[in-house]
């Protein structure tokens, strides 16, 4: 299994990411160790499930680094919340790639600048034609807000 990197920075903590046999994670799909700064992902998963497991373990790491004392969740409650959030994050990114790209761009812009960023929200451009009130049609590209720019 090819992972994009073998480490990830989470709240200024560098976690090693390893692809392992499911036996190495006690038959689970993944595990996170805050103490060892390590995320392990079982490689016997579909690509879709692997992405979900990756975000699931990253969220465990976020809670370990930032929120365990604040949230005070029981283990079962943390697991339930993370399962819902991980699946939701993955689905939102799949259904709305322009927002995922926008969030990455805005985060990168923010890291390079000290002043607030005033970049526009993402828009989907799509080709379409729309009829005018007089019955004639306008061909062009919509800007995501319903306005057509002529091609």
pLDDT tens sequence across 33-59: 999 999 999 999 999 999 999 999 999
Q: Enumerate residue ranges in the chain where pLDDT < 50.
A: 126-133, 138, 142, 145-148, 151
Partner residues linked to 9 by β-bridges: 14
Please report, for residues 127, 137, 140, 150, the alpha-carbon distance to residue 133 in angstroms, rounded to integers and kept in the order given.
20, 9, 17, 17
Catalogue all structural domains in the chain, each as residue range(s) with its CATH number.
Answer: 7-95 (1.10.10)
**pLDDT, position 106:** 87
Distance CA 121, CA 123 (A): 6
State the helix-helix crossing angle for 75-95 and 97-112, rounded to 10 degrees.
100
Give the Cα separation of 121 and 102 in Å (integer). Answer: 7
> Against a cut of 0.95, is the pTM above it?
no
| Token representation of residue 49 | 């499930």
Q: How far apart are CA 13 and CA 114, in angstroms?
A: 23
């Amino acid at each position: 299994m090819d992972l994009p990197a073998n480490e990830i920075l989470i709240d200024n903590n560098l976690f090693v990411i390893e692809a392992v046999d499911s036996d190495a994670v006690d038959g689970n799909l993944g595990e996170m160790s805050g103490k060892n700064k390590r995320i392990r992902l079982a490689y016997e998963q579909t690509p879709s499930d692997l992405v979900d497991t990756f975000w699931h373990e990253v969220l465990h790491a976020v809670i370990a680094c930032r929120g365990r004392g604040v949230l005070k969740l029981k283990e079962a409650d943390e697991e339930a919340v993370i399962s819902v959030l991980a699946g939701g994050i993955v689905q939102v990114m799949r259904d709305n790639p322009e927002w995922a790209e926008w969030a990455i761009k805005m985060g990168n812009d923010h890291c390079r600048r000290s002043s607030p960023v005033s970049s526009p929200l993402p828009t989907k451009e799509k080709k379409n034609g729309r009829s005018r009130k007089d019955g004639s049609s306008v061909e062009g590209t919509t800007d995501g807000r319903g306005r057509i720019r002529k091609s």
